[in-house]
Structure 1
Amino acid sequence: MAAAADTAPRVVEDCRGVLQVLSDGTVLRHPPPAMDVPIDPSVEWKDVVYDAALGLGLRMYKPSAASSGGGGKNKKLPVVVIFHGGGFCINSYAAPHFHAACTRLAAGVDALVLSADYRLAPEHRLPAAIDDAAAALLWLRGQFSSSSGDPWLSELADPSRVFVAGESAGGVLTHHLNVRFSGGELLHPLRIRGFVPMMPFFTGVEPTPSELACPDDAFLNRDMSDRYMRLCLPPGATADHPFLNPFGPGALVLDGVAMMPTLVVVAGDDILRDRNVEFVRRMVEMGKPVEFVEFPGQGHAFFSLCVWSESVDELIRVFKQFMDKACQLQG
């Protein structure tokens, strides 16, 4: 009996108790802990499917006071496509904290918000999530090219004012979409005006000062960051893989890529703080229209974890300011 117990599969990777990988390769997913996060009552939402073959959906949010679409183009709303975090391994658009954050965003920037799911690792390692994020944008393009598009989009959305955002892992997706669709021709009639990666989950082999100083009890610490990295990248890949390190060996040279205006949201007490700031510095050196806003004292993923905080109030204000500026500058 003891010998049998010794050979029984054991947990070798654990992501917040929600995802466990056993020694025999079995992947176990458990329901997340129950959460009760207040939502903005002025926002309506509904779920739609954007890839039936893969079973992928998105949740659409609209301010309740949105125009019915009969007032002309000036009544149309901008669109924000957003991707959740979770190290590419856990969470979904339906996670209560991210759901609440999306209601706040839709109300605060007065936009239609589309929160899209993507396939998760380790069952589907990168680049699966990147491809799914691209498919969500292509689905959105198709909605405006079809006479049978979703009525929320056909009646309320302005395809010439589209923004893409994401938190943590979603921030990485935001960057890859900026690169993949640079120039915008592939997405016509959509017009992407800007990208907002929030605390993007960039990694690298050489540790940064903010990584070395990160306390063990941080929401995202070095151990959890390494675990997500191991599970989401191709087997055997290092933290310098270009899926997570935009400047790592083998990464696409970005000098000639016509990237769109980008606002990087940085948390001052985040393990990723230095990588996010370094990303902005290097992009600016290449002449890219990239800027950042830092929130001192905030930890990783504060957008969705501290939904009703003053910092999120300010983040939404800056987000809206960025949207308005991007539309004005580009005409």
Structure 2
Amino acid sequence: MAGTTGSSTAATYEVDECRGVLRVYSDGSIVRSSKPSFDVPVHDDGSVLWKDVLFDQAHDLRLRLYKPASASASSAKLPIFYYIHGGGFCIGSRAWPNCQNYCFKLASELHAVVVSPDYRLAPENRLPAAIEDGYTAVKWLQAQALEASDAWLADVADFGRVFISGDSAGGNIAHNLAARLGAGAPELAPVVMRGYVLLAPFFGGTVWTKSEAEGPKDAFLNLELIDRFWRLSVPTGDTTDHPLVNPFGPSSLDLRPLDLDPILVVVGGADLLKDRAEEYATKLKAWGKKVEYVEFQGLQHGFFTIDPNSQDSKRLMLIIKRFMADNST
């Protein structure tokens, strides 16, 4: 406290901090660093071409498009693979080097057009903002399919083979899009959705799971950080049983009657989110959905972007490639 005659004024102090990128202060002010939390070099060897596109003028949101340099109008059309970045709904960007490097690998190894959209971040924009922006990003693709005005994309992209993947918070967005759009996403015609890849999806709930409660305190994504991300991103006054956070919460959408596209759920065995991902896959499979669950023993949250050249990351890429091939017809 800073004392004054007849009154007192509280000094502003830091309330929340997320990986050195986001700082929230007691007076409500928010400071974001332009420096990413993953300060790694970008590995752009020219084998993948990319460019940025404005997809939501109202919110000044952009996405980054990638395609193999070898792709051309005379080649066979390529599937479209969305990669929605993670960051607890609070941090992250399509332009962060770890995201860009992973998208290079996805475009090259999946031989696909990769779409990596940004979305509004919390706490400035709490949920459902990020979910709505994910929806806007796929509606943007529908406009491209109808207009075919951008030859850079239209000449090489197969709008009839679209997959949506998301990493952590991006996996949550992917789930909510799957539930909203339904099998094939008929409202997006002529775009045809073929499947979803949920990479360590960021789900929550008011009751801790065993992996959350007993997971290592020094985990890359520990319980304190999980709680902080949710505290900053759930709608004001709500809890982590919010329908967009907990797929099986007391007021969540009943997924049993929904016709869903195939879903691949991937998680590390040492990830504190493991139990929620496994429960999600197990319940959907029991309800007759086409769901595949893959667990990488002993690995932590985000292993595939933290070490994209590891043997496990390479195995994951092959699993995604096979999932796409199995669901392309």
- Structure 1 residues 216 and 255: alpha-carbon distance in aligned structure 2, compared to 1, 3 A threshold: same
What is the match of residue 57 of structure 2? 52
Matched, 1:154 2:145: no
Deviation at 1:147, TM superposition (A): 4.2
What is the match of residue 106 of structure 1? 107
1:35 to 28, 35, 39: 39
What code does the residue aligned with 2:182 have? Answer: S
Determine the C-alpha separation between the residues in 2 that align with 1:315 and 1:45: 23
Q: Tell whether the 8 Å contact from 2:38 to 2:96 is kept in structure 1 after alignment.
A: no
What is the match of residue 257 of structure 1? 258
Matched, 1:14 2:20: no
- Structure 1 residues 193-272: aligned runs within 5 Å: 193-272=194-273
What code does the residue aligned with 1:65 have? Answer: S
What is the match of residue 319 of structure 2? 318
What is the match of residue 179 of structure 2? 179
SS of corresponding position for 2:147 = coil
Determine the C-alpha separation between the residues in 1 that align with 2:212 and 2:104: 32
SS of corresponding position for 1:279 = helix
Moved more, 209-218 or 158-167: 209-218
Q: Tell whether the 8 Å contact from 1:40 to 1:107 is kept in structure 2 after alignment.
A: no
SS of corresponding position for 1:260 = coil
What code does the residue aligned with 2:30 have? Answer: V
What code does the residue aligned with 2:52 have? Answer: D
| TM-score normalised according to structure 2 size | 0.95
- Structure 1 residues 155-170: aligned runs within 5 Å: 155-170=155-170
Determine the C-alpha separation between the residues in 2 that align with 1:6 and 1:216: 36
Q: Which runs of 5+ in 1 are unaligned?
A: none
Number of aligned residue pairs = 323
What code does the residue aligned with 2:59 have? Answer: L
Matched, 1:126 2:127: yes
Q: Which runs of 5+ in 2 are unaligned?
A: none
What is the match of residue 73 of structure 2? 69
CA-to-aligned-CA distance 1:135-191 (integer Å, 9 cap, x gap): 00000010010142x222210000111000000000000000101110321110001
Q: Tell whether the 8 Å contact from 1:39 to 1:101 is kept in structure 2 after alignment.
A: no
Determine the C-alpha separation between the residues in 2 that align with 1:6 and 1:309: 53
Matched, 1:24 2:11: no
CA-to-aligned-CA distance 1:71-116 (integer Å, 9 cap, x gap): 4xxx000000110000000010011111101111111110000000
What code does the residue aligned with 1:243 have? Answer: L
Matched, 1:97 2:98: yes
Q: Tell whether the 8 Å contact from 2:128 to 2:244 is kept in structure 1 after alignment.
A: yes
SS of corresponding position for 2:254 = coil
What code does the residue aligned with 1:265 have? Answer: V
CA-to-aligned-CA distance 1:47-76 (integer Å, 9 cap, x gap): 11111121100111111111x1124xxx00
| TM-score normalised according to structure 1 size | 0.94
CA-to-aligned-CA distance 1:17-59 (integer Å, 9 cap, x gap): 2111111111111123572245262212111111112110011
SS of corresponding position for 1:3 = strand
- Structure 1 residues 123 and 297: alpha-carbon distance in aligned structure 2, compared to 1, 3 A threshold: same
Deviation at 1:317, TM superposition (A): 0.5
Determine the C-alpha separation between the residues in 2 that align with 1:58 and 1:303: 21
Determine the C-alpha separation between the residues in 1 that align with 2:44 and 2:22: 29
Deviation at 1:6, TM superposition (A): 6.1
Determine the C-alpha separation between the residues in 2 that align with 1:252 and 1:224: 27
Runs of 4+ in structure 1 deviating by more than 6 angstroms, as ranges, are none
Q: Tell whether the 8 Å contact from 1:240 to 1:248 is kept in structure 2 after alignment.
A: yes
Moved more, 290-299 or 218-227: 290-299
Q: Tell whether the 8 Å contact from 1:93 to 1:116 is kept in structure 2 after alignment.
A: yes
- Structure 1 residues 208 and 145: alpha-carbon distance in aligned structure 2, compared to 1, 3 A threshold: same
Q: Tell whether the 8 Å contact from 1:198 to 1:266 is kept in structure 2 after alignment.
A: yes
Deviation at 1:218, TM superposition (A): 1.1
Determine the C-alpha separation between the residues in 1 that align with 2:261 and 2:3: 60
Q: Tell whether the 8 Å contact from 2:265 to 2:277 is kept in structure 1 after alignment.
A: yes
